[in-house]
Amino acid sequence: MLKLISEENLKSELRTYQISFLVSLPLALFGIFGLLVFGLTMWEVVIPGQRVSPPKNVDTFSEFTKVMPEPNKVTIIEISGNTYIVVVGGVRKPLPSDYPIYVFDKRGKIISWTIDSGDAGENHPYHKYFSKPDLTREVSLQEALEFVSKKDK
């Protein structure tokens, strides 16, 4: 059985569909954006080999070198009689302004880190470790591990 729809009813139905579309489209775009942000966050924190944030249970330099990607640079710096190991991370988070920085004391205990050194600014605790390049000495990862192992004894 065929049901006839009047022109007024047809216009009313079309307006209803238009309104539904206008409401649904922003919600769908918002959902897609949310998934994108969630995906980037998971990439940054969880994907093996692409880790930027050190795991919560990793607090020493030797543990750090076992679970984190190969660093770009490792330096040893002396400030006011204290020695620190500063690691410039090898992997950056999505859309970074700079690499992550990890700072360890002379015994290899992590004391500070930032996920994006470009966003951290001069007030971040890591900044003093890089603000005096004349006090730094670049070393290999192996040399830094040996330095820490000597201090443990």
The per-residue pLDDT for range 59-117, each reduced to its tens digit, is: 899 999 998 888 888 988 888 888 889 898 877 666 667 788 888 999 999 998 887 77
Residue-level pLDDT at 137: 85
Instruction: State residue 133 phi and psi, 5-degree precision.
Output: -60, -25
Q: Which of 62, 66, 52, 38 is nearest to 146 (CA)?
A: 62
Domain residue ranges of the chain, discontinuous segments joined by +: 8-46, 61-152
Q: Beta-carbon neighbour count of residue 60 at 10 Å? A: 16
Q: What is the pLDDT of residues 31-43, one digit of tens each?
A: 787 777 776 665 5
Q: How far apart are CA 47 and CA 69, in angstroms?
A: 11
Residue-level pLDDT at 120: 62
Q: How far apart are CA 70 and CA 117, in angstroms?
A: 17
What average pLDDT is seen over the chain? 76
The order of strands in the sheet holding 136-139 is 110-114, 101-105, 82-88, 73-79, 136-139
Quote the tokens at residue 23: 């409401």
Residue-level pLDDT at 96: 63
**Enclosing H/E stretch for 112:** strand 110-114
pLDDT at 49 > cutoff 50: no
